[in-house]
Structure 1
Amino acid sequence: MSKVRIATALPCLLLLAACGTSGSPTADPSPSPTTRYTPPPADKGPECEGDKAAKGLHVLRAASASLPGGTKVQYADAKADGKHRSAELAVGNARQTVRPAQKVTLGGHTYTVSQICTYRVVLTAPGLPASTHKGKHMPVWPTTYEGHWRLRWHVPDNGPQGMGAVVTDIESDPPSATISAADSGSHAFYNNLRPGATVEIAGKLWKVETIDGGHMNVDMSSPDFKAGYVDLRQLGDA
């Protein structure tokens, strides 16, 4: 069923609603008028498939990661049929669909797709270092309360060294949200999140516990306007 929502600005770098000079998310000061919107269907799952213990390079959803030699690989699209997951990896304009345990050639080198999740792809290969950013900014950023982190609609929470996260869109029917996250120049984009979904931000895994749509189908200057928010619960290192 279609409904009314507050539209977000066009994404910076096709990932963030806007970007500051440091690369961290910044708020869009003037959202456009309300528009009709039909939410996309929920992901069929499973959330992850493959070797959950794999130590490799994490390519976050819609973000790019650097391979040895400088090749950039992007996790461009995610698909699932209820039993298995696949991912579309992009190097420049070239795209290929991969599945867990598959060998893939990227930038002239061969890697194993060890795990595919809604929020990341893990690539492994002899001599390929694992992601080294795991929790390196904690407890400096983000600030949590008993392991919980609240992100408010269009209010960026920026950390050190280009880190940041912002909720760019919230829907109430059904509850869903979009979170953009920056990590030292790499920008992940978690779209159509539902309660219970997992995201990877700042080298940590977070569970989406609450999506509150607020009261945003009125003018922002109205006393009845109330911005929504997303509550995340920290699960542990990514």
Structure 2
Amino acid sequence: MFVMIENLKYQYNKSTKAIIQNFSLKIKKGEIISILGESGSGKSTILRLLAGLETPNSGSISINDNVIVNHHHFLPPEKREVGIVFQDYALFPHMTVERNIKYGLRKMSRIQKQQRLDEMLQLVRLEDYKNRYPYELSGGQQQRVALARALAPAPSLLLFDEPFSNLDAHLQIKIRNELREILKHTNTTSIFVTHDQTDAVALADRIILLENGSIGNELKPSELASTNYMLQYRTGLRI
């Protein structure tokens, strides 16, 4: 398996209750996983553990056969080859689209940076916007810039934290379709967390239901989309 997460546990220093416990997940190369759960279920914490922004109390994570964290090893975030797209996109407001996308390409030569920029702009269909600033872009365009910036260094794993929450309903549908197409085209292994089952069904190859920091169930999108599952999820019943 491309990503191996085994028996993760995480709790704050002064807390007696684990936020994440007994969390294990295997992910194939190029697979898109959705972690679906209500607010406070631990979704974003899992992304932070994968990105190296938090350290688990126990358990291990491996990506492409490389251990990034276990009980005696911690690989710093900048060496993990893990990209992340935040809920608010986290674009640099004083930088143009071009400079935002190039930000993570510091190790490349000038020619390589320009080639990669051109590839990313074409991929997200923003070739005519490279000299604009984030405030000059729509919400959907800002998200595409954030995606291009995250994809530019060719990460082994790409993480999304509630990627559509700031978009209106019409734009959500358009961006969801574009995002899945781009991730499949680039064969990028991805995990996105959401509280919205519609997003999960539209994007994911596999859906993980998170309950109190543990996996409650694992479903195909077609299973979650069925009336019975949707009804149970919306009423807060265990599936």
Q: Where on the TM-score scale, by shorter chain, does this alignment land: which range?
A: under 0.3
Richer in strand (by share):
1
Q: Whose relative contact order is higher, 1 or 2, with alpha carbons under 8 Å and at least 6 apart? A: 2
TM-score (norm 2): 0.25
Richer in helix (by share):
2
TM-score (norm 1): 0.25
